[in-house]
Chain A
Amino acid sequence: MNKAYDYKIVAKDVNLFYGDAQALKNLNISIDENKVTALIGPSGCGKSSFLKCLNRMNDLVEIAKIEGTFTLDGINIYNDFDVVELRKKVGMVFQSPNPFPMSIYDNIAYGPRIHGIKNKKALDEIVEKSLINSALWEEVKDRLKKNALGLSGGQQQRLCIARVLAVEPEVVLMDEPTSALDPISTLKIEDLMYELAKKYTIIIVTHNMQQAVRISDKTAFFLLGEIVEYDNTDTIFDMPKDKRTEDYITGRFG
């Protein structure tokens, strides 16, 4: 728990460009710790781009240019943070499950191993703990050595969550984590997020407004690269302050 700073992540006056196209405009937002924050909005409005700034995955995009500041616990993500350390603290779950072509055990042990943990007993414990925390342990505990690609879609995504948890992050970013999954897997993962928020700060991009209502504490509505409204989820969905928000929520567009 950080008492020195009020918010876990702060974005200030952010402008993001992909070449000449501007993806984020004058963005300002402060994310609460240990809460689930949902980012909603029509396709292509900058939600995923914003997410990718938070763990510097945009560094991989040649033409991406960022202005403004992002801070984690008050420390500038781009200037004062080692990118490897940052990605340990800020994990990401992608839209399509992307387990590595190796065993379930090795998938989860991958993170800890590259960060220096070699002791087998320590790794065993980490693997078990991560799988328990991602609600997958019971289903795979007898086949940890089997190839991860043999799991179902929902299981693979929970494996990816376990993989992220194994490096003990503080923030977990989720980019439409259930959009490629069936309803039952989706519900399992949503239940999971409620549990995870107790320990981690969760930021989730979702196209599914019902999902945002179900699981998030705060919601930010993105439109054309700007945050139109950011408030408690109840407020956003029951008494939106901006007409654009209301139009989106009631389905008039998007």
Chain B
Amino acid sequence: MRTQTKISDFIIKIFIWLFTLIAVGALILIVGFVLIKGLPYISWNFIVSPDTGILPMIVTTLIIIPLTLIIAAPIGICSAIYLVEYARPGKIVNLIRFATESLAGIPSIIYGLFGYVFFCLTLGFNYSILSGSLTLSIMVLPTIIRTTEEAIKTVPNSYREGSLALGATKLTTIFKIILPSSISGILTAIILSIGRIVGETAAVIFTLGTVTDMPKNLMSSGRTLATHMYNLAREGTNENAAFATAAVLIIVVALINLSARSVAGQFQKKLHSKK
């Protein structure tokens, strides 16, 4: 009996290690492959050259990320607060949850078509950063709501009780105790959203456009790095440029994630030992 248990333990351990290796390996493979094929072709010229430089695409991407988040984050976080702190279990809450879950499952091309018809045509924004951001913010809303909700739920009830017993209102309790305690979860939500925003092509092509100009304002059309990669790959003539763009994309995302985490770390430190 004992020998069999030891053997099965061992086998399971092997499998766990194997699968972990596959998962990590896949990540390293993809990132490594892209960087190896792309880094050699990144040059100052590659970025700033007037006709083929990818600077406009970098700028467009860097504008659309915060713009989308500024729209989606407050709505998402407030929705999560409502769902956890205020809503009473019932038909309405179930409806909201159902809507949120469904939104998460809609393919991005449908978002693109919707965004085109509603924001570009009906509201008259045309191909623009505004249309793109609005469409993307609907896309990332479910992620933000769900992740923030989970974070808020993990805040112990004893904190709420302690705060209310001191004479705080529910709103004060939410903003002074609950949200600060959930900050790392909220940040996770934001980082996940950034990943989604940056990787989007279908939704963006139909709402932001594909023009390679440097954007001038919110109503300018433009092209994101992901769209640019799609174009290059589709044209098939410049594989090196495609990989170089991909490499830039990965680096941009990595930098954003790292700075987001460090901001979170600073905030946590401030929270736990202020002044």
In contact, B166 and A114 (Cβ under 8 angstroms): yes
In contact, A167 and B166 (Cβ under 8 angstroms): yes
Among B4-12, B30-38, B243-251, B266-274, the stretch in contact with A: B266-274
B177 at the interface (CB under 8 A from A): yes
In contact, B163 and A110 (Cβ under 8 angstroms): yes
| Known A101-B181, A101-B272, A106-B274: A114·B165 in contact at CB below 8 Å | no
B257-271 at interface with A (beta carbon < 8 Å)? 271
Among A28-36, A68-76, A85-93, the stretch in contact with B: A85-93
B220-275 at interface with A (beta carbon < 8 Å)? 271-275
B17 at the interface (CB under 8 A from A): no
Would you give the 0/1 interface string for B132-169, flagging 1 where the beta carbon is closer than 8 Å to chain A?
Answer: 00000000000000000000000010110111111111
On chain A, the residues within 8 Å of B159 by CB distance are 98, 100-101
A122 at the interface (CB under 8 A from B): no
B216 at the interface (CB under 8 A from A): no
Among A55-63, A130-138, A184-192, A245-253, the stretch in contact with B: A55-63
In contact, B162 and A57 (Cβ under 8 angstroms): no
| Known A94-B161, A100-B159: A147·B166 in contact at CB below 8 Å | no
On chain A, the residues within 8 Å of B164 by CB distance are 57, 60, 87
Complex CA–CA separation, A111 to B177 (angstroms): 12
In contact, A103 and B163 (Cβ under 8 angstroms): no
Query: What does DSSP make chain B's interface, helix, strand, loop or mixed?
Result: helix
Complex CA–CA separation, A86 to B271 (angstroms): 29
Would you give the 0/1 interface string for A176-200, flagging 1 where the beta carbon is closer than 8 Å to chain B?
Answer: 0000000000000000000000000
Partner of A62, one of B88, B167, B169: B88
Complex CA–CA separation, A103 to B166 (angstroms): 17
| Known A98-B158, A98-B159, A145-B273: A92·B165 in contact at CB below 8 Å | yes
Complex CA–CA separation, A147 to B273 (angstroms): 6
On chain A, the residues within 8 Å of B271 by CB distance are 101-102
Chain A: minimal CB distance from B160 (Å): 8
A117 at the interface (CB under 8 A from B): no
Complex CA–CA separation, A85 to B156 (angstroms): 25
| Known A91-B166, A98-B162: A146·B273 in contact at CB below 8 Å | yes
B62-106 at interface with A (beta carbon < 8 Å)? 88
On chain B, the residues within 8 Å of A77 by CB distance are none
Partner of B166, one of A62, A96, A163: A163
Chain B: minimal CB distance from A145 (Å): 5
Complex CA–CA separation, A92 to B168 (angstroms): 13
Would you give the 0/1 interface string for A202-239, flagging 1 where the beta carbon is closer than 8 Å to chain B?
Answer: 00000000000000000000000000000000000000
A141 at the interface (CB under 8 A from B): no
Partner of A111, one of B156, B167, B180, B275: B167
| Known A145-B273, A145-B274, A147-B272: A160·B167 in contact at CB below 8 Å | no
Complex CA–CA separation, A147 to B180 (angstroms): 14
Query: B158, B169, B177 — which one has the most chain A CB atoms within 10 A of its CB?
Result: B158
B172 at the interface (CB under 8 A from A): yes
Chain A: minimal CB distance from B151 (Å): 13
B176 at the interface (CB under 8 A from A): yes
In contact, B167 and A87 (Cβ under 8 angstroms): yes
In contact, B166 and A55 (Cβ under 8 angstroms): no
On chain B, the residues within 8 Å of A88 by CB distance are 166-167
In contact, A103 and B167 (Cβ under 8 angstroms): no
Complex CA–CA separation, A99 to B177 (angstroms): 11
Would you give the 0/1 interface string for B170-189, flagging 1 where the beta carbon is closer than 8 Å to chain A?
Answer: 00100011001100000000
| Known A87-B166, A102-B274, A103-B274: A114·B158 in contact at CB below 8 Å | no
**6 interchain residue pairs of minimum CB distance:** A98-B158, A87-B167, A92-B165, A88-B167, A111-B166, A98-B162
By beta carbon, the residue of chain B nearest A173 is: B165
A105 at the interface (CB under 8 A from B): yes
Complex CA–CA separation, A60 to B173 (angstroms): 14
Known: A91-B166, A96-B158, A147-B272. 15 other contacts (CB 8 A): A57-B161, A60-B161, A62-B88, A84-B168, A88-B166, A91-B165, A100-B162, A102-B180, A102-B274, A103-B273, A110-B176, A111-B166, A145-B274, A145-B275, A167-B167
On chain B, the residues within 8 Å of A114 by CB distance are 166-168, 172, 176
On chain A, the residues within 8 Å of B275 by CB distance are 103, 105, 145
B20-56 at interface with A (beta carbon < 8 Å)? none
A11 at the interface (CB under 8 A from B): no
By beta carbon, the residue of chain A nearest B168 is: A114
A164 at the interface (CB under 8 A from B): yes
Chain A: minimal CB distance from B200 (Å): 36
Chain B: minimal CB distance from A128 (Å): 15
